[in-house]
């Protein structure tokens, strides 16, 4: 298949380093093929948000565009967009162009992506021409970066659309959270530092302002003080008293923002 429409003269895909983030090999290959046919020469891949964070923490200054699926577990593409816009990835410019892809249209996801200044949003099925046009338009889009608090305040969107199951305190205490393992033995990757414990039993993991945390939310990332001492461990249920204490302590890792999620346990 050939591209039917020429690319704008001001977009040279060969000079842009792309990052594709998708847990489905078919879509990764489709996006990669489209970008390569459009002239791209440097395309990196990540199968989930965690390796994407690792790549961005190493090469974020050189990544010219991120093409990311929004429907991934436990952390979706909208949260990667939020991380970039909120400047939580030190080497990645907050204005880095981000294109969100999805296999299902969801108005809430579209609105959330727009509120976080997404550069483009494309719904499958996608032709190569449509995908390249979306990326091209996204790279040409002019917009003004807002304060990090604005992006942090955008309500999260759960791809599953399911309400969190109700579980007793006893069953929650029985959940074991797996430690995040590095891809390379003997080295602790930046992804592991960003997500020190991979909570496989959590869903709808997202970042939000402490003031927006609702009682009953589950902490999805350890909270440390300024000296690196553990204050709250991943998996902690945030009760009103804890939320009040967090609001009064300005020693969180993300300037007043925390990572939270919901228990994702099978029905019994």
Among 106-110, 134-138, 249-253, 254-258, the range scoring the smallest mean pLDDT is 249-253
Q: Which range is least confidently modeled, 73-77, 146-150, 187-191?
A: 187-191
**Are 199 and 220 a contacting pair, CB within 8 Å?**
yes
User: What is the topology classification, in CATH, of domain 13-152?
Assistant: Rossmann fold (3.40.50)
> 251 and 149 in contact (C-beta within 8 Å)?
no
pLDDT for residue 245 is more than 80: no
**How does residue 36 score in pLDDT terms, banded at 50, 70 and 90?**
very high
Residue closest to 74 by CA, chosen among 215, 206, 234:
206
Q: Which two tokens stand for residue 256?
A: 């007043």
Range among 99-108, 144-153, 218-227 with highest mean pLDDT value: 144-153
Question: Which residues have CB under 8 Å from 7's CB, separation 6+?
Answer: 13, 38, 39, 132, 136
Q: Where are the domains of the chain?
A: 13-152, 169-263
Chain segment 157-197, per-residue pLDDT in tens: 876 653 333 333 333 332 222 332 332 322 233 334 444 44
pLDDT value, residue 143: 93
Instruction: For the beta carbon of residue 30, count every other beta carbon within 10 angstroms.
Output: 20
More confident residue, 124 or 177: 124
Among the listed ranges 38-52, 111-125, 188-202, which one has the minimum average pLDDT value?
A: 188-202
pLDDT computed for residue 236 by the predictor = 85
**pLDDT tops 70 at residue 226:** no
């Amino acid at each position: 298949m050939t591209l039917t429409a020429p690319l704008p003269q001001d977009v040279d895909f060969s000079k842009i380093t792309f990052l594709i983030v998708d847990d489905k090999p078919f879509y990764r290959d489709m996006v990669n093929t489209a970008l390569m046919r459009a002239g791209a020469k440097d395309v990196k891949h990540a199968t989930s948000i965690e390796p994407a964070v690792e790549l961005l923490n190493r090469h974020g200054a050189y990544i010219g565009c991120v093409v990311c699926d929004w429907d991934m577990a436990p952390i979706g593409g909208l949260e990667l967009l939020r991380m970039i816009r909120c400047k939580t990835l030190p080497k990645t410019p907050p204005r880095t162009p981000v294109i969100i892809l999805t296999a299902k249209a969801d108005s809430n996801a579209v609105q959330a992506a727009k509120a976080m200044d997404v550069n483009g949003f494309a719904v499958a099925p996608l032709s190569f021409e449509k995908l390249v046009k979306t990326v091209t338009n996204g790279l040409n889009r002019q917009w003004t970066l807002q304060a990090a608090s604005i992006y942090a305040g955008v309500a999260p969107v759960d791809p599953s659309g399911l309400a969190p199951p109700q579980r007793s305190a006893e069953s929650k205490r029985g959940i074991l959270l797996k430690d995040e393992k590095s891809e390379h033995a003997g080295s602790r990757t930046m992804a592991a530092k960003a997500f020190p414990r991979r909570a496989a039993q959590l869903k709808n993991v997202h970042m939000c302002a402490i003031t927006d945390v609702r009682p009953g939310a589950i902490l999805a990332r350890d909270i440390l003080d300024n000296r690196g001492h553990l204050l709250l461990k991943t998996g902690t249920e945030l009760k009103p008293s804890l939320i009040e204490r967090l609001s009064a302590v300005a020693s969180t890792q993300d300037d007043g923002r925390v990572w939270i999620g919901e228990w994702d346990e099978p029905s019994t």
